[in-house]
Amino acid sequence: MPYNQSRARARDRGNVLGRLEFLSLHQPLRNSSTDNKQGASRRGKFHQNQQTEHQQEPGEGAKERKEAPRLPEEDCMQLNPSFKGIAMNSLLAIDIHLSKRLGVCVHTSSSWGSVRSVFTLLALTGHGITWICGTLVCLTRSNTLAGQEVLVNLLLALILDILTVAGVQKLVKRKGPWEMTPGFLDYVAMDVYSFPAAHASRAAMVSKFLLSHLVLAVPLRILLVVWAFLVGLSRVLLGRHHVTDMACGFALGLLHFSLVETVWLSSNACQTLISIGTLSWSPFP
């Protein structure tokens, strides 16, 4: 018996490593390189999934942006604009603000609404139809060759002014500072848009023309210049044009005068045009 007990104790001591807390000692060591490869493959798959998700998100965002309604260019903000763009936008903003502030006769309920009819009548004195009709009446009553020469060239200058301004307005298509419907005479004279101001162009051209070809006293010359300025200003006060429209109209009117002076028709050419107009011209003398 004592012998068997001693052998059992020795066997138990030999089986100490078989206990649960020592089982990990019997397991072989894992290969570190294999673990590194498996971990790297897992990390690679994880990163690939993340990249795929990031690639899908911009695609979905692009679809949403395509489906979103496109705003007008006037409502969009331009990031990092150039100095020229900033200057132009600033000048346009100042022009619109100043033009709206000067529109004191837009409606009868405006601050200067009580004198709106006065400025309307003043603007009518610079209308193209008014000047063409007046020039034709004076041409039928003129008996001198010099007077007829001046009036025919004035008539051609008026027609040139109306056609040029109408073409530029049709090309630019700028609307006035206030939402206003053009009148019947405006449609007849093709003065529908805002830029350039037709009344200012016509007033500048006519005043320069009369100052160059008529002998007038100094008070009348000053009055003629003031009239031209007030005609252009009246359209701004009535809310029809911007300030820059008026300024460009004055410049265009002076350009028209220079062009007419360059291609001035002689007295014989004017008499030929008058004969054609009155249906009394004959190609054979």
The span from the CA of 42 to the CA of 30, in Å, is 18
Output the pTM of the full model. Answer: 0.67
pLDDT(25) > 90: no
pLDDT band at 79 (very low <50, low <70, confident <90, very high): low
Percent of the chain with pLDDT over 90: 38
Nearest to residue 199, comparing CAs of 209, 212, 210, 186?
186
The residue annotated as part of the active site, out of 97, 107, 241, 242, is 241
pLDDT-derived band of residue 52, with 50, 70 and 90 as boundaries? low
| Of residues 252, 167, 248, 137, the one with CA closest to residue 205 | 252
Binning pLDDT at 50, 70 and 90, where does residue 179 land?
confident
Q: Is 26 assigned a catalytic role?
A: no
Which stretches within the chain are classed as H helix? 2-14, 32-67, 83-102, 116-124, 128-141, 145-172, 184-188, 198-213, 218-237, 243-262, 267-277
Q: How confident is the model at residue 27 (pLDDT cuts 50, 70, 90)?
A: low
> Residue 110 — pLDDT band, cuts 50, 70, 90?
confident
* More reliable by pLDDT, 76 or 109: 109
pLDDT confidence bin for 166, thresholds 50/70/90: very high
Which of 46-60, 127-141, 223-237 bottoms out in mean pLDDT, i.e. has the lowest?
A: 46-60
How far is it, in rounded angstroms, from Cα 196 to Cα 187?
Answer: 15
127 is catalytic: no
- CA angle (276 as vertex; 270, 281 as ends), nearest 5: 100
68 pLDDT above the threshold of 70: no
Out of 13-22, 75-84, 163-172, which region has the weakest mean confidence (pLDDT)? 13-22
Confidence of residue 58 (pLDDT cuts 50, 70, 90): very low
Stronger pLDDT, 227 or 5, i.e. the higher one:
227
Query: Catalytic pick from 47, 97, 127, 199?
Result: 199
Most confident of the ranges 23-37, 66-80, 183-197: 183-197
pLDDT at 84 over 90: no
pLDDT at position 104 is 87
Residue-level pLDDT at 274: 86
Local confidence band at 284 (pLDDT 50, 70, 90 cut-offs): very low
pLDDT band at 237 (very low <50, low <70, confident <90, very high): very high
Distance CA 108, CA 59 (A): 57
Chain-wide mean pLDDT for the chain? 78
Q: Is the pLDDT of residue 246 over 60?
A: yes
